[in-house]
Amino acid sequence: MRYLKADQLDFTIETTPPMPLPRRVLMVTPDHFDVVYVINPHMEGHVGQIDRTLARQQWEALRDTYQKLGFDVHVLEGAPGLPDMVFCANQTLPFLQENGQRGVVLSRMHAPQRRAEVPYLARFFEAQGYTLRSIPEDVPGSFEGMGDALWHPGHALLWGGYGFRTDPAVYEWLAQTLGVRVITLHLTDPDFYHLDTCLSLLDAGTALYVPAAFDDEGRALLHRLIPHLIEVPEREARELLACNAHCPDGRHVLIQRGCTETIARLRAAGFEPIELETSEFLKSGGSVFCMKLMFF
C-alpha cells in the first residue's frame, strides 16, 4: 500500500512489522570521485574543484568511524569515469524479507551519467548471495535507491521521496513487490533533491527534518507518524546538508562538522553526535548518509 496523505493512514509505527537494523556498511572508494557535470544545485561552481587527497582523508575518517562503532565495513573499488559512484546509497535499495530472504532493488538512475554505476553494485550484491530485483520495464520513471527510499528504523516501513530523482510509480511497484507500506513525500525544493538531504530517521520515534523541503501533505504525514521531529535550521540543511546525517544504532549521529544548532538539538534529545568533515563531498551535493549503504 502506498500512502500519499495523512488522512489515508490506517496504521501506527508500533503496529508495522519489525525489521532489524542493518549491521553491515558498504562504502565505495573515492579514487575516481570528482565533480565533472552538474546534476544538482550543490555541484554548481564546483566542477574541477575537488581536492582528491582531502576527499580520501575524509572518506577514510568516515570508514574508521563505522569500524570503531563496531560495524562490519565492506569496501568496493570506485570505477574510472564514474565520479559519483562513491555515493553508494543511490544505486540500490537493500531489503530483508520476513522469511529471511535478503535482496536489493537495482536503481534506475535519473542522470545518464550515473547509469553505469549500478552494475558494479549489482555484482557486489550478487557475490554476497543477494536476490537482485530490477524495476520492470512497464513501470515508468527513475529510482535512486536509498537516496530517496529510507527504511523506518526497526520496522518494515518505507519512506519514499519523489519529484526530482525518483518517480512515484516506482513506489507502487515497490510496495507490492516487497509487501511493505510506503509513505511517499513530495520533494519541492531543488536543494533537497533526495529524501536523504531533508529527512534523517534517527530511531523509531525521532527524526531530523527540514520543513521547507516538503509540501503540506508531506509535513502532515511526518507529523502524524513521527512523535519527535527535530527541525533543522535551513542554513545548516542547505549549506552543510545537516539532514544527510546518519544514526546507525539509535544513539550515535554521524554528521557534517559545524552544524551547531542541529548538534545542540540532537544532544538535547539524548543522541551522541559525531562530527565529521565532508567538505569535498558537499561540493557534489552529498555528505555522510550518501557515502555509505547499510545492508542486512
The catalytic residues are 194, 290
Should residue 265 be labelled a site residue for ligand ARG when binding is judged by CB under 6 A?
no
* Sole binder of ligand ARG in the list 63, 181, 194, 238 (CB under 6 A): 194
SS3 127: helix
CA distance 155 to 160: 14
d(CA 68, CA 198): 27
Which residue in the block uniquely carries the three cell numbers 549503504?
293
| Per-residue binder mask for ligand ARG (CB under 6 A), 106-145, x = binder | --------x-------------------------------
Cell (9 digits) for 41: 544545485
Find the binder of ligand ARG among 28, 29, 40, 161 (CB under 6 A): 40
What single-letter amino acid sits at 261? E
> Among 3, 33, 71, 87, which residue interacts with ligand ARG (rule: CB under 6 A)?
87
Closest-CA residue to 186 (of 208, 163, 168, 167): 163
Q: Which stretch binds ligand ARG (CB under 6 A): 47-55, 86-94, 178-186, 207-215?
A: 86-94
Nearest to 255 by CA among 200, 194, 206: 200
Instruction: Indicate which single residue of 91, 92, 184, 197 sits in contact with ligand ARG (rule: CB under 6 A).
Output: 197
Longest dimension (CA), the chain: 51
- Candidates 187, 221, 286, 288; binder of ligand ARG (CB under 6 A) is 286
Single out the segment in contact with ligand ARG by CB under 6 A; choices: 92-100, 129-137, 190-198, 264-272: 190-198
Q: Which residue is nearest to ligand ARG (CB)?
A: 290
Q: What is the dihedral of CA 261, 165, 292, 42, to 10 degrees?
A: -50
Q: How far is CA 219 from CA 166, 187, 188, 196, 212, in A?
A: 19, 11, 12, 15, 9
**Counting contacts by CB under 6 A, is residue 92 touching ligand ARG?**
no
| Interface with ligand ARG (CB under 6 A) | 39-40, 43, 84, 87, 89-90, 114, 147, 194, 196-197, 284-286, 290
